[in-house]
Amino acid sequence: MTPGQIALRALIVGFIMSLVVITGFAYTTLLERKVLARLQVRVGPNRAGYIPFPRRGGKERKLLGGFLQPAADAVKLFLKEDPTPAMVDRSVYNLAPMLAVISAILLLAVIPWAPAINILGVQFAPYFAIAPSINVGALYILAVTSLGVYGVFLAGWASNSKYAVLGGIRASAQMISYELALGLSLLIPIMLADSMDLGQIVEAQRGGWFVFLQPIAAAVFCIAALAELQRHPFDLLEAEQELSAGFNVEYGGMRFGMFFMAEYMKMVILSALAAVFFFGGYLGPFVDQFPALGFFYMGIKIVFGLCLMIWVRASWPRFRYDQLMSFGWKVLLPISVLNFIVTAFFIVLYEEGVLQPIVDAVRRFFIG
């Protein structure tokens, strides 16, 4: 393929995947409200969009109750009053929500969704992605993730409100602190796969998912991802004891909705990244014979990650801000550094052949 054809295909695939994720973000909100309602024994959205289904006794059954609730919420946000405070820095004030959404969408570029596949006569190889075979894909993920800090901080600074400024400073400090542990946890699968290409990291897990080889790195990644998203139990900005909503206190209407959109899109994308780095990505039974199953397996693993985040929100109390920062710097970061050093040490021993006699002895002991 010529460079122009490659760029055109990337644009088309990027548009389709962005549309899918944006639609998925809307229904992630519905999933969260439904699952929270089940876990907390209450009623979630059950009116908007239901289908009446008659049954005996004259009492109708409501199918797909709440199915159109995301559409109703979107209409409300679009039509809601969106005032701009008088003393804000207007250009930066309007740019901050865009930065939050753009940094989320950019993460889609290198995620592998399926193995090599032929769709409508177009061959996607070595795997299906917007930009496949990027040999610094993991580095790209870390770089783009850090861009989200700018949207948060600039939103607080441009609002010209002391509450928003303090909220922006606290939120950006939280995100930067936990990015260190997040980055160190991603170094583990990079070392195990000996590549920063996300497709090769997935293929390296054919012999076993990395979550079984490195459960500590997987746990650190999941915890740091929650803090990066400012999700419960790290959502100090929405805590009841706070005076305001934090960096976005001066935003309303669809500009507030863009921060909301960025959070839920990142929930989907970070669940996909957890699947890629630790849970085998698109790998699963019969995926070599039927490559389209890769999309299904990725979808199942993403939904599992989302449900895990929702379960944490329903079950765990919030940290205080001092506890949050202490946990990031004094617990999570030392664990990540120690795990990285130990893993690197054993990888070098394995490559030098020092561990081979031990592996053979263990095999003989169990197999005979």
Q: What is the pLDDT along the chain (368 residues), one digit of tens a residue?
A: 677 777 888 888 888 888 888 887 888 888 888 888 888 888 878 777 777 767 666 666 666 777 888 888 888 888 888 788 888 888 999 999 998 888 888 988 899 999 988 887 778 888 888 888 888 989 999 999 888 888 888 988 998 888 888 888 888 888 888 999 999 999 999 999 999 999 999 999 998 899 998 999 999 999 999 988 888 888 877 665 555 667 888 888 888 888 888 888 899 999 999 999 999 999 999 999 999 999 999 999 999 999 999 999 888 888 888 888 899 999 999 999 999 999 999 888 888 877 778 777 777 776 65
pLDDT at 29: 86
Q: What is the DSSP letter of 319?
A: P
Burial class (CB in 10 A: 0-12, 13-18, 19+), 15: exposed
Helix or strand run (H / E) with residue 193: helix 162-193
Domain spans of the chain, in order of start? 83-367
- Residue among 336, 331, 348, 296 nearest 216 (CA): 336
Count the helix, strand and coil residues of the chain and give each as a percent rounded to the nearest 5. 70, 5, 25
Helix or strand run (H / E) with residue 190: helix 162-193
- Cβ atoms of residues 339 and 192 within 8 Å: no
Measured distance CA(34)–CA(56) in Å, rounded:
27
Burial class (CB in 10 A: 0-12, 13-18, 19+), 216: middle
Beta-bridged to residue 61, according to DSSP, are 53
The angle at the Cα of 121, spanning 116 to 124, to the nearest 5 degrees, equals 25
- Residue among 201, 180, 191 nearest 275 (CA): 201
pLDDT at 19: 84
- Residue among 203, 228, 204 nearest 144 (CA): 228
Q: Where are the alpha helices (DSSP H) in the chain?
A: 3-39, 69-79, 90-106, 137-158, 162-193, 198-203, 210-213, 215-229, 253-278, 293-315, 321-326, 333-351, 356-367
Half-sphere exposure of 21 (CA within 13 A, CB side): 30
pLDDT at 367: 65
pTM of the model: 0.89
